[in-house]
Amino acid sequence: MQISHDGKGAIVTGGSRGIGLAVARQLIRSGAQVLITGRKQAALEAAAAELGSACCWQVCHAADAAAAARCVDLAVARFGGVALLVNNAGTNPQWGPTVEVDAALAAKLSQVNQWAPLLWIQLTWQAFMREHGGSVVNITSIGGISPSPSTGYYNATKAALGFLTRQLAAELAPAVRVNAIAPGMIDTDMAAAIPAAQRDALLAGIPMGRFGSPDDIAATTSFLLSEYAGWITGQVLAVDGGALTSNGVPLP
């Protein structure tokens, strides 16, 4: 199976590192032109230098409506359209019991993890996809499928994104397919910061015997965006090495 995204314009939010960078790299390898967004200019410049001429970038907070609109306008002008959207940007500043979450933290989590993906879908729908079709992948989390001890409200926003995925798949079909990927523990900077003993406990709950890599998520994303997944929409696909099947604790 040779996936091709030739001639398609794409946007990857949170595309300067980790999963987002791996997704952008995979899409470019498959022929797409990609706009990556993020909050830090230096990280975006470094990512774009690696990705080459098929990539452009814009500093943008994912939930900033005016900045997001400028990004979509730029992508349409540069690529001729935006047929592919990956809502990867997210935040997780919560650590502790859900019953202790304050209003400011809850608002931030909801704004970035739940509202922002809808914002980007609205903008790309209005600018291109309504007339020309397209495909969307939202990056959620297996925390949105199974509870975990210390990130409950974050998980709730990711569960909401899973429902939003199904809702929009129903509303936007057949022009646009909307799916989601729920990663398990991925070996990124966040995972590296987990104490060794806790990492060992998490690893013991993964039947495949390893943490995932950003490339694992990128490959699945590319497939779901492609014509090979042309009859798949409204799905939330766990890519977790089997963690949910083993009753392991999916996240710290």
- What is the distance of C-alpha 85 from the center of its chain? 9
> According to the 3-state scheme, what is the secondary structure of 70-86?
HHHHHHHHHHCCCCEEE
Task: Compute the residue count for the chain.
Answer: 252
CA distances from residue 155 to 35, 85, 97 in whole angstroms, order as listed: 28, 22, 12
Name the token pair of 10. 């794409």
221 within 8 A of 14, measured Cβ to Cβ: no
CA proximity to 88, closest of 40, 17, 156, 151: 17
Q: Catalytic residue positions?
A: 154
Residue 11 identity (one-letter amino acid) = I
